[in-house]
Amino acid sequence: MSYLFTGVVKLRWWLYRKRVLHDQHLGCLVVVVGNLTVGGTGKTPVVEKFARALRDRGRRVAILSRGYKSKAPPMWKKWWFWLTHTAEPPPRVVSDGKEVLLDSEQAGDEPYMLARNLPGVHVLVDKNRVKAGEYAIKRFGCDTLILDDGFQYLPLKGRLNLLLVDKTNPFGNGFLLPRGILREPITHLKRASYVFLTKSNGRRDTELEELIQRHNPGVDVIECTHRPQYLQRLGEPPETAATRLPLEDLQGKRVGAFSGIATPESFEKFLRDLGADIVFTRRFLDHYRFVPSDFVEIFSAGLEQKVDMIVTTEKDAVRIDSEMPCPVPIYYLRLEIDILHGADDFDEAVGRLCFEAARTPDR
């Protein structure tokens, strides 16, 4: 099955490269952020950081997401639209740049989190991101589109392809799905304009860097890490600094941790490295929708173990009812991206990557 999947992926890429299938240009800067693997490489903090930096430099930014578990119209309906010349419904607008219009269940976890953290940035959800991009340009006057998890979305032409590689587990066992974790062959590193090594500990991995350069000679490699910033009390807006705790407050505290993400080990390691004494953990499937009985069990464990606090991830926090009574305080750990190698800082990287790309023709 893995070999069959590999053949389909290569055929699809060949059809687009030979112009049998056509990608579309929307006449603005399109930044594609994605990866070659399934699982968490830390895309959302990178997308957020890029969108904020571009917004602060005067660009009108829209983030285009397919939306987790969003449903495309059935095939018969698509045929009906085509036969009757009926326009398809518009994309879902998670944020119009002024306010958040949908909740996490309607929008998906990452789009909702991005909309909440990025006032002034438009966030749209649709599996057809060409349609979503056209809508963002016409409806909101956007001049910059960021495709969240868009490396495999070939119908929309990107001027800049930012490929994220998880340094702790770059390519799994080297096989494509379902035998491995790859969505595309490792040789498709050649499609990247820039490579971001995420979750770095600061030590160089010459073997990985040589592999990247072998498949994409001369590509710029920017090494970065996800750095904890603070703890935010659940149920409070992210800008409410009064309900934040400094990371030093984790030192020596008895902590319960739960998460529903692809790599819970990295989240739990953050807490331990910050000095927390993790007395119990609960791990759920990625994007798991919590039900009340989950919190009955979590709070029971917290009270039994006499924890000082319960900590989760920001992505999980958006799926929790903020009005839920909490006998033990729940906080989420706020993470942001820091550049370690390849650029002086993130703003310099954004300026070098995006603004130089905006002045050059499509490749």
44 is in an annotated binding site: yes
313 is in an annotated binding site: no
353: which DSSP letter? I
167 is in an annotated binding site: no
What does the alpha-carbon distance between residue 56 and residue 35 come to, in Å, rounded to a whole number?
26
What number of CA atoms fall less than 13 Å from residue 53's CA on the CB side?
20
What does the alpha-carbon distance between residue 95 and residue 295 come to, in Å, rounded to a whole number?
29
What's the chain's Rg over C-alpha atoms? 21
SS3 332: strand
What does the alpha-carbon distance between residue 263 and residue 286 come to, in Å, rounded to a whole number?
8
40 is in an annotated binding site: yes
What does the alpha-carbon distance between residue 256 and residue 267 come to, in Å, rounded to a whole number?
12
43 is in an annotated binding site: yes
Token representation of residue 148: 């969240």
What does the alpha-carbon distance between residue 355 and residue 344 come to, in Å, rounded to a whole number?
16
269 is in an annotated binding site: no
What does the alpha-carbon distance between residue 195 and residue 174 come to, in Å, rounded to a whole number?
18
SS3 340: strand
180 is in an annotated binding site: no
What does the alpha-carbon distance between residue 30 and residue 156 come to, in Å, rounded to a whole number?
9
100 is in an annotated binding site: no
Residue 255: how many other CB atoms lie within 10 Å: 25
Residues at the annotated binding site?
37-44
Residues at the annotated binding site for ATP?
37-44
